[in-house]
Amino acid sequence: MAGILKSVSGKNKINLKNKKFALVVAEWNEEITETLFNGAYQALLELGAKKDNIIRKNVPGSFELPLGAQQMAGQKKIDAVICIGCVIQGDTPHFDYICQAVANGIMNVNLKFNKPVAFGVLTTLNKKQALERAGGRLGNKGEEAAVTVVKMLTP
C-alpha cells in the first residue's frame, strides 16, 4: 500500500477533505471487484478523503460502468469517479467488444464532464491473473485507480 500512495506527493499535494468521490462497482466477478473496491476506498481515506464524501454505486457488469460513471460525473457535487470492474476472457467470448466499449465509454465520460474518471477495470485472460492484480503479487489496481484520480485533481 505505502509504495503507490507515496507517489502522491510534492508541494502541490492536494487536500482531499472537501473532495467528493464516486466509486462505480461492477457486480460481475464480485470476489475480485470487492477487493478492488476496498483497495480504492482505503487508498482514498489514507490520502485524506472523508468517509462521508465517498459514495458507491453498483452496476450489474462492466458494460454498464460508463453509464454509471456518467450518472455520477453529471452531479455537480462529485469531483472524481473511479470505475471498478473485472472482465475475464475465459468466461467472455465477446471479451474484446466489452473491453473496447468500456474503455471508450469511460474515456468519453472523462472528456464530457472534464472530471477524472479512472479505469479501474481488470481485463485478464483468467481468474488467476485477476487475483494477482486484486491484492495479489501485482498489487491492487483499485488502489492505483484511486491514486490516479487524486493525481488528476492535483493542480
Query: Is residue 26 classed exposed, middle or buried when 0-12, 13-18 and 19+ CB atoms within 10 A define those classes?
Result: buried
Is 94 among the catalytic positions? yes
| Least gap, CB of 65 to ligand RBF (angstroms) | 8
Region from 5-13, 58-66, 105-113, 133-141 binding ligand RBF, contact rule CB under 6 A: 58-66
H helix or E strand, kind and range, residue 131: helix 127-133
Q: Is 91 in the site for ligand RBF (CB under 6 A)?
A: yes
Selected catalytic residue, list 1, 31, 90, 94: 94
Dihedral sign computed on CA atoms, order 76, 43, 66, 101: positive
**Closest distance between ligand RBF and the C-beta of residue 130, in Å?**
9
Contact flag: residue 123 with ligand RBF (CB under 6 A): no
Q: Which of 79, 84, 86, 152 is nearest to 124 (CA)?
A: 86
Q: Could you tell me which residues come within 8 angstroms of residue 9 by beta carbon, excluding any fewer than 6 positions away?
A: none
Residues 28-47 within binding reach of ligand RBF (CB under 6 A):
28-29
Query: Cell numbers at residue 82, please?
Result: 473511479
Q: Does residue 98 interact with ligand RBF by CB under 6 A?
A: yes
Based on the shown chain and the rule CB under 6 A, indicate whether residue 22 belongs to the binding site for ligand RBF. Answer: no
